[in-house]
Chain A
Amino acid sequence: MGAYLLRRSSYMLLVLLIVSFLAFAVVQLQPGSCGTANATSIGAQYARWLGQVLQGSLGTSCANFGTPVTDILLGGGAWSRSLILAVTAFFLSWGIGVPLGLYAALRRNKPSDHLIRLLSTFSLALPPFLIALFLALLLYMWGLSPSGGVFSREYMDLPWNGAKFVDGALHLLPLLLIVVLAQWPMITRYMRASLLDTLNQPFVQVARAKGLGERQVNYKHALRNALHPLIGLIGFWLPNLFESTLAAAYVMNYPTVELNLWNAIPALDHDVIAAGIVLFGGILMVGNLLADVALAWADPRVRYE
Chain B
Amino acid sequence: MIQNFQKLVLLVVAVGALVGSHTLGVSAQPYQVPPQDLRDGPGTRGGSLTLDLASEPRTFNPVLAQQESSRAITSLLHEPLFGDNGQPTLVAQFDRTVDNTGWTLFLREGLLFSDGKPFTCADVDFTFNRVLFNPDVASAKDVWRIEGQFPKVECVDDFTVKITTPALASVVFSQLLTYQVILPRHVLAETVANGDFNTTWGITTPPEKLVGLGPFRLKKYDPGQRALLERNPHYWKVDAEGTQLPYLDQVIMPIVRDDSVRVLRFLNSETELLRPRPEDRGPIVNKFGPGSVEVLQQARTTDSRGFVFNQDVQDPALRAVFRSVDFRQAMNRAADRDGMISLGFLGFADPRCGPGIALIFALGSQDVPCNGDTSKEELFNVDRAAGILDDLGLTDVDGDGTRNITDVFLNRPETQQALASLNVTLNDLPAEQDRELDFAILTVQGSKSMTTDAEIYAATLRSLDLNVRPNPVAESTLVAKLQSGEYQVGRFNFIGNGDPSIIADIFVSSGRQHFWKPSDAQGQDVPAWQQRVDQLFAMQKAGSGEERQAWMNEFQELAAKNVPMVFLYGVNDIFAFRKEQIGNFSGIAGQAILTHAEYLFRKDL
- A and B interact physically: yes
- Interface residues of chain A, those whose CB is within 8 Å of chain B, are 30-33, 60, 63-68, 71, 75-76, 78, 133, 136-137, 140, 143, 145-147, 149-150, 153, 156-157, 250-251, 253, 255, 259-260, 263, 266-268
- For B163-202 the 0/1 string (1 means CB < 8 A from A) is 0000000000000000000000000000000000011001
Residue of B nearest to A250 (CB): B257
Chain A residues with Cβ below 8 Å from B55 are 263
Residue of A nearest to B59 (CB): A65
Are B261 and A75 interface neighbours, CB within 8 A? no
Contact partner of A31 (CB less than 8 A), chosen from B202, B223, B264, B477, is B477
B373-415 CB contacts (< 8 Å) to partner A: none
Chain B residues with Cβ below 8 Å from A68 are 204
Are B64 and A140 interface neighbours, CB within 8 A? no
Contact partner of A145 (CB less than 8 A), chosen from B260, B270, B484, is B270
Q: Does B95 contact A (CB under 8 A)?
A: no
Q: How far is the CB of B75 from chain A (nearest CB, A)?
A: 17
Cα A32 to Cα B257 in complex, Å, equals 23
B interface residues, how many (CB within 8 angstroms): 40
Are B476 and A156 interface neighbours, CB within 8 A? no
Chain A residues with Cβ below 8 Å from B475 are 32, 266
Residue of B nearest to A262 (CB): B257
Q: Does B56 contact A (CB under 8 A)?
A: yes
Are B264 and A137 interface neighbours, CB within 8 A? yes
Contact partner of A251 (CB less than 8 A), chosen from B56, B202, B252, B261, is B261
Q: Can you list 17 A-B contacts with CB-CB less than 8 angstroms, sorted by A residue number?
A: A31-B480, A31-B481, A64-B203, A65-B58, A65-B202, A75-B204, A76-B223, A78-B223, A136-B258, A136-B264, A140-B264, A145-B268, A146-B268, A157-B220, A251-B257, A253-B225, A266-B474
Chain B residues with Cβ below 8 Å from A32 are 7, 474-477, 479-480
Q: Does B122 contact A (CB under 8 A)?
A: no
- For B246-260 the 0/1 string (1 means CB < 8 A from A) is 000000101111101
Q: Does B267 contact A (CB under 8 A)?
A: yes
- Interface residues of chain B, those whose CB is within 8 Å of chain A, are 7, 55-56, 58-59, 61, 64, 198-199, 202-204, 220, 222-226, 228, 252, 254-258, 260-261, 264-265, 267-268, 270, 474-477, 479-481, 484
Are B202 and A76 interface neighbours, CB within 8 A? no
Chain A residues with Cβ below 8 Å from B474 are 30, 32, 266
> Total contacts A to B, CB within 8 angstroms?
108
Further contacts, 8 of them, CB under 8 A, given A65-B61, A145-B270, A260-B224 = A32-B7, A32-B477, A66-B202, A68-B204, A149-B225, A153-B252, A255-B224, A266-B475
Are B476 and A30 interface neighbours, CB within 8 A? yes
3 closest cross-chain pairs (CB), A and B? A32-B476, A255-B224, A31-B480
Whether A147 touches B64, Cβ cut-off 8 Å, given contacts A75-B204, A157-B220, is: no
Chain A residues with Cβ below 8 Å from B59 are 64-65
Are B481 and A133 interface neighbours, CB within 8 A? no
Chain B residues with Cβ below 8 Å from A30 are 474, 476-477
Chain A residues with Cβ below 8 Å from B254 are 149, 253
Are B202 and A64 interface neighbours, CB within 8 A? yes
Cα A259 to Cα B268 in complex, Å, equals 25
Residue of B nearest to A75 (CB): B223
Chain B residues with Cβ below 8 Å from A260 are 224
Contact partner of A67 (CB less than 8 A), chosen from B203, B222, B228, B264, is B203
Residue of A nearest to B50 (CB): A153
Are A147 and B261 interface neighbours, CB within 8 A? yes
Are B225 and A255 interface neighbours, CB within 8 A? yes
Are A263 and B270 interface neighbours, CB within 8 A? no
User: Which of A65, A156, A266 has the most chain B CB within a 10 Å cutoff?
Assistant: A65
Contact partner of A133 (CB less than 8 A), chosen from B198, B202, B260, is B260
Cα A51 to Cα B190 in complex, Å, equals 29
Residue of A nearest to B201 (CB): A65
Chain B residues with Cβ below 8 Å from A143 are 268
Residue of B nearest to A136 (CB): B261
